[in-house]
Chains A and B, each alone.
Chain A
Amino acid sequence: MFWNLPFIAVVALSLIGLATIVIKKNLIKIFLGITIFESAVNLFLISLGYRAGGIAPIFTSAPSTDMVLATPQALTLTSIVIGVATSALLLSFAVIIWKKYGTINTDEIRRLRE
C-alpha cells in the first residue's frame, strides 16, 4: 500500500490538472492546469525509477558499479525542460491575447468562430 502512494498522487494530480483545464475559464488558470498535469507525468516517471535500497548513480561516491540505471531521471529532466518551454510559449500567447482582446476569459475569446 505504502509503495503505491506516489502513483495515487500521480492519478490525483493528473485529475486535478485535467479538471482545471476543462472547468476553468481563465487562460492563466488553464495553463496552470497544464503545468500540474505535466508535474503529474514527471512524478510518474520518477516514481518508476525508485528502487528500494538502490544506490544513486554517482560514480565518484558509489561503493561499487552496481547502481540504479539513471534513465528515468534523465527522462524527467528532459520533460521538465520541455515543460518550461511550453509554459513560456503559452504565457507569451496569454500576454498577446490580453493586449489585443483586453480579456483572458475563454468565453470572450471567440472571434475565430465567425
Chain B
Amino acid sequence: MNGFLITHAPALLIMVPLIGAFVAPFVGRVSPKVRSAWIILIMTLTTLVALMLASDVFLHGTRIYVFGATSPGLTVPLDSGGIPIRIIFTIDAMSALMQVIAAVCGFAVLLYSISADRIHSGLESYYTLFLLMITGIMGMVSTGDFFNFFVFLEILSIASAGLIAYRIDGGLAVEAAIKYFVLSTIGAMAVLIAIGIYYGEYNALNIAMIASRMQFTLLDQVALVLIIAALAMKCGAVPLHFWTPDAYSMAPSSVTAMLVVASQASLYGLFRVVFTIYNLTLNAMTVGWIIIILGILSMVVGVTMAIPQKNVKRLMAYHAISQTGYMLLGVGVGLAVLGNQPLMESFGYIAMEGGIFHIINHAMYKGLLFLTAGAIFFRIGTYNLNRMGGLGHSMKYTMVFFIIGALAIAGIPPFNGYASKLMIYESVFAFNPVLAVIAMVVSILTLASFVKVFHSIFMGPRLPEFDTVQEAPMPMLVGMGILAAIVILFGLFPQAVVDTLIAPAAHALADQSGYIASVLGGA
C-alpha cells in the first residue's frame, strides 16, 4: 500500500485537490460544517502526499511519473522513435521544495480561512477556487512538460482572478481582478507562443527533450524574451509590477497569502526555463545581469513605493515586490557565473541557495504578515493605518505574530529572513560590492517602514472606538502560529535547512545534464 502511494504520489498530488475542489460544492450542500471538514481533509491529504513525495525525492533523487504509460518510469516508449510523447512529471529537489512550500502554506492558510471567511456568502465556489489554485501551483512546479506548464499556469490565473474579485467591494475588487487577469492572459499567450516556437524547432514539448536539443538560435532568443517577460510580470517584478498592489490589497487576506505562493511558482518557472532549458547555451553573463537588474529595480522601487502607503495591505504588497527582488538578485548572480566552476564554487552556489532559501522564507513570513493584516481587518474592519491604534492592548497574539513577521522581513536575527539575506549579502558582495550595499540599504528601509506600521497599528493608548475589540479566533491564530513557528525554526537552524532542503534544490537547478538524464536516460 505504501509503495503504491509513493509510486503514484505525483499523480495524487494533482488528483486529490482537483477532485476535492469539484466535490466541495456538493458536500457543502449538506451543511457548512461538513464542507469545512471536507476541505480540511482534502488539504491534509494533499499536504501529506506532498511531504511524502518530497522526502522521497530528497532521499532517493529525482522522480519521474509518466501519465498513461504501462509503468510510471517508462518515459520513452519503444515505438515512439525516441521522443517522450506522453505527459511526464519530473520532480527534482527544486520542484519538491516548491511543493513543500505550497503544501505547508496552503494548509496554514486554509485553517485560517475556515474561520476568517466564515461570514461571507458564496463559500462553496470560494473553496473550489482555492483548491484549484493549489492544483495549479502543484502542477506548475511538478510538470516536466512545457505545454502542461501553460495549462496549469492558466488554471492558476483563472482561479486567482476569481478569488481576487471574490469580495466585490463596490466593484473595486473586480477592477483589481481585471487588471490582474488581462495581464495574466497576455502573459500566458506569450508563453504559449514560446511553446509553439520550441515545438516548431525541436518537435518536442518535454522540457528535458527541448533542453537536450537546444541550439540557441534567433527564434530561441525570441522565446526566451517572451518567457522572461511573461513570468517576471506574473511574479510581480518591476517594471511590470503595477497589478500587484491592487490585486494583493483587494483580495481576501487568505487569498493574498496564497497569491504570494503563486507568484513564487511563476518565479520557479522563470528559473526552470533559464537554468534547465537554456543553461549554458545562452550568454549567462548577459541574462544573469538582466535578472540582477530586474531584481535591483524591484527591490528599490518596491520599498520606496511602500513607505508612503496608508493601506496596510498595499504597503505589504509593495514590500512583497521588494522581497521578490532579493530572490532575483541571488539567483541572477548564480546565473551570471554559471559555467565558471571556481567562481561557482566560491560564491555562485551560495548566491543561488540564498535566493532559493529566500523563496521559502518569503512565502512563510509574508504569508504570516498578510494573515495578521487579515486578522486585524476581521476585528476592526479597516486597512487604513491612520484609523488604527492601540490594538496591542487587545490583540496580543496577533501583535506577537506581526512582530515575528516584521523582524523576519527586515532581516533581523534570529528569524529566517536574516539567514537567507546574510547568504545573499555575502555572496553578492563577492560578485559586486555595490549590489550588496543596495540590498542592505533596502533592508534598512524595510525595517524603518515596518517600525512605522507597528507603531501605528499596535502602540499608543487604547482607542475608544476599538474598546470592544477581541483577540482573533482560535483557528486563525493556529494558522498564523504554524507559519510563525516555521519562521522561528528556520531562523534558529538555518544550516540544517540549507543542507537538507536548499542545497540539493540549488544544485538540481544548476545541473542541466542531470535533469535531462533523469528523463531521457543516460543520454
CB within 8 Å of B: which residues of A? 18, 21, 27, 30, 34, 37-38, 41, 44-45, 48, 69, 71-72, 75, 78-79, 82, 85-86, 89-90, 93, 96-97, 99-101, 109, 111-112, 114
Q: List 9 A-B contacts (CB under 8 A).
A: A21-B182, A41-B193, A45-B192, A82-B151, A82-B154, A90-B182, A100-B170, A111-B170, A112-B246
B200 and A48 contact, CB distance less than 8 A:
yes
A89 and B161 contact, CB distance less than 8 A:
yes
B151 and A100 contact, CB distance less than 8 A:
no
B174 and A79 contact, CB distance less than 8 A:
no
Give A48 to B195 CA distance when docked, in angstroms.
11
For residue B172, CB closer than 8 A to chain A, the reply is yes
> Which of under 10, 10 to 19, 20 to 34, or 35 or more describes the interface residues of B?
20 to 34
B176 and A112 contact, CB distance less than 8 A:
yes
Main secondary structure of the interface of B (DSSP, over half): helix
A111 and B172 contact, CB distance less than 8 A:
yes
How many residue-residue contacts, CB under 8 A, span A and B?
Answer: 86
Give A103 to B392 CA distance when docked, in angstroms.
43
B186 and A21 contact, CB distance less than 8 A:
yes
B326 CB to closest chain A CB (Å) equals 27
A43 CB to closest chain B CB (Å) equals 10
Known: A21-B186, A97-B178, A112-B179. 13 other contacts (CB 8 A): A18-B186, A34-B182, A41-B193, A41-B196, A44-B196, A45-B199, A75-B147, A79-B192, A89-B158, A90-B182, A93-B177, A97-B175, A109-B175
Give A89 to B132 CA distance when docked, in angstroms.
15
- Considering the complex, give the chain A residue whose CB is closest to the CB of B204: A71
Give A30 to B179 CA distance when docked, in angstroms.
11
For residue B501, CB closer than 8 A to chain A, the reply is no
- Considering the complex, give the chain B residue whose CB is closest to the CB of A88: B158
- Considering the complex, give the chain B residue whose CB is closest to the CB of A110: B175
- Considering the complex, give the chain A residue whose CB is closest to the CB of B191: A41
B199 and A71 contact, CB distance less than 8 A:
yes
B181 and A89 contact, CB distance less than 8 A:
yes
A30 and B182 contact, CB distance less than 8 A:
yes
**Partner among B172, B181, B200 whose Cβ is within 8 Å of the Cβ of A93:** B181
